[in-house]
A and B are shown apart, each in its own frame.
Chain A
Amino acid sequence: MGLDFSVVPSYFSVLLMGAGWTIAITACAGIISFFGGIIFAIIALYGHWTLRLPVRAFAWLFMGTPLLLQLFLIYFGLIQVGIDLPAFVAGVIGLGLHFAVYNSELIQASILAVDKGQYEGARTLGLSRGQTLRRIVIPQAVRAVIPPMGNNMIALLKDSALVSVIGVMELTLAAQQAISRTYRPFEFYLAVAFCYYIINLALEAGLRHLERRIAASR
């Protein structure tokens, strides 16, 4: 039996919906991973130990175990303690926190790399520690970290396929559904691979645009 892509167009709307969900998950989880990463980094560097220790333990858990397991824990595990999250929400939280931990590592390193003169310049004007951090150090650290963090965002997009296992109708699960009706795995997986590739291109273009915009202020 040869390849027959003619079945793909009839599932176009299914795949389009799937692509929509993939983009939505990536965007929501991306936002969580960005701000979560900043918050974790600040706690890891400057937090009181009562905050720092739990955050470190949490980071360990999220870096040291498979993402798939984390998604199962959040979606199926939490039900047992009475937290019944919709699959989409569980997926976004899982992916978001997972990548927040990785982003936090990057941000910590770049906060520490901000020149000592920047603190002195700000403190000399009368800014407090917190004000200096918020207005001077963090913005510079985040700017420096946009390119490597962009790589994390691309990884996040690809790993969003994992939330198909908890039943979120994103691209990969949409493809599986089409396949279960048509028995055409090769065609649909290829079509979906192509979709990921297109979304990826758009994401990369967006990141490059962002990098260019901040290049002037570095």
Chain B
Amino acid sequence: MTEYAFVTIKNAAKSYGALEVLKDINLTVQRGQIVAIIGPSGSGKSTLLRAINELDPLTSGEVWLEDVQINRKLPFRQYEAHVNQVRQDIGMVFQHFNLFPHLTVRGNITLAPRMLKGLTEAEADTLAEEQLAKVGLSEKIDEYPSRLSGGQKQRVAIARALAMKPKVMLFDEATSALDPELVEEVNLVMKQLAEEHMTMIIVTHEMDFAASVCDRVLFMDQGVVVEEGPPSVIFQNPKHERTQNFLRKHLNR
């Protein structure tokens, strides 16, 4: 039996017109592994992350989740059905939360499970309660997002993604839009997920968090992975000059 790596990216390339944003990127993320992607602004981190769930499809290359190719070339209707299916297994958390403002916290969490997995209202409610308890927001279940702090919104967004029971979670600068004092509560939730061995790919500007939570760190610059390795190596003994320069600016110690 083949042991599938959870996420496999092969020869990924992406251009916007003449601008090459990703250049021949290869990445394998094992089950339960936690990978951080760091790098300067505009290096292609978000683009790579968003290619994994086909929000920004690659120009060429392959993305696999276990034995399913995510970016299959299919006729339009089949393609749509296919991505709608595979996206259910890939949770994504955005910098700006993207909660649905017209739905309560409960509505935000239960919408997709009810529509896509056919859960009954009672089952979905139980699920929402479980997921909210996990992110420590049980008492907010009937609030609208506009009444929550940024940190609470992001925790709800994580609960919403988890309610789909994804196989992998993608985080695109989940704490960048937060006031400094609200960052920790979101980091705690992510650490807790790490302890439960959720497979995660985390784009972040927080080097301390990456160092303490992740198994592997990728440093990207100008559309390529310049260097990758365990955090101890990347943060303490980076080989490449570009990595060293970047870290000098971002590790203020």
Contact = CB atoms under 8 A, between A and B. Distances in A.
B144 interface: yes
B148 interface: no
Nearest to B157: A121
A140 B102 contact: yes
Contact of B85 (A117, A122, A126): A126
Interface string B14-44: 0000000000000000000000000000000
B112 A127 contact: yes
Interface size class of B (residues with CB under 8 A): 20 to 34
B96 A123 contact: no
Contacts of A136: 100
Nearest to A130: B80
Interface in B95-124: 96-104, 111-112, 115-116
Contact of B94 (A117, A128, A135, A217): A117
Contact of A218 (B55, B90, B101, B160): B101
Indicate the member of A128, A217, A218 with the most B CB atoms within 10 Å.
A217
B53 interface: yes
Contacts of A151: none
9 shortest interchain CB distances as A-B pairs: A121-B98, A126-B88, A125-B112, A117-B98, A124-B92, A126-B87, A217-B102, A126-B84, A139-B102
Contacts of B88: 125-126
Given A131-B115, A135-B111, A216-B144, A123 B98 contact: no
Nearest to A125: B112
A145 to B, nearest CB: 13
A129 B77 CA distance: 11
A126 B102 contact: no
Given A117-B94, A120-B94, A125 B164 contact: yes
B78 interface: no
Nearest to A115: B98
Given A139-B102, A143-B102, A217-B101, A125 B80 contact: no
Interface in A89-120: 115, 117-118, 120
Contacts of B157: 121
A175 B157 CA distance: 59
User: What DSSP secondary structure best describes chain A's contact surface?
Assistant: helix
A126 B116 contact: yes
A115 B104 CA distance: 18
B220 interface: no
B190 interface: no
Interface in A6-47: none
Given A127-B115, A128-B80, A217 B103 contact: yes
Given A121-B98, A121-B100, A124-B87, 17 more contacts: A118-B98, A122-B100, A124-B55, A124-B90, A124-B92, A125-B164, A127-B84, A127-B116, A128-B84, A131-B115, A135-B111, A139-B102, A140-B100, A216-B144, A217-B102, A217-B144, A217-B146
A123 B91 CA distance: 11
B150 to A, nearest CB: 14
Contacts of A118: 98, 100
A105 to B, nearest CB: 22
10 contacts: A121-B94, A121-B98, A121-B99, A124-B53, A124-B92, A125-B87, A127-B112, A140-B101, A214-B102, A217-B102
A126 B164 contact: yes
Contacts of B144: 216-217
B141 interface: no
B13 interface: no
A218 B103 CA distance: 9
Contact of B116 (A121, A125, A129, A217): A125
Interface string A189-218: 000000000000000000000000010111
Contact of B102 (A125, A127, A218): A218
A188 to B, nearest CB: 46
A120 B87 CA distance: 11
B161 interface: yes
Nearest to B170: A124
A115 B103 CA distance: 15
A122 B161 CA distance: 10
A117 B96 contact: yes
Interface string A118-161: 10111111111101000110011001000000000000000000
Interface string A51-86: 000000000000000000000000000000000000
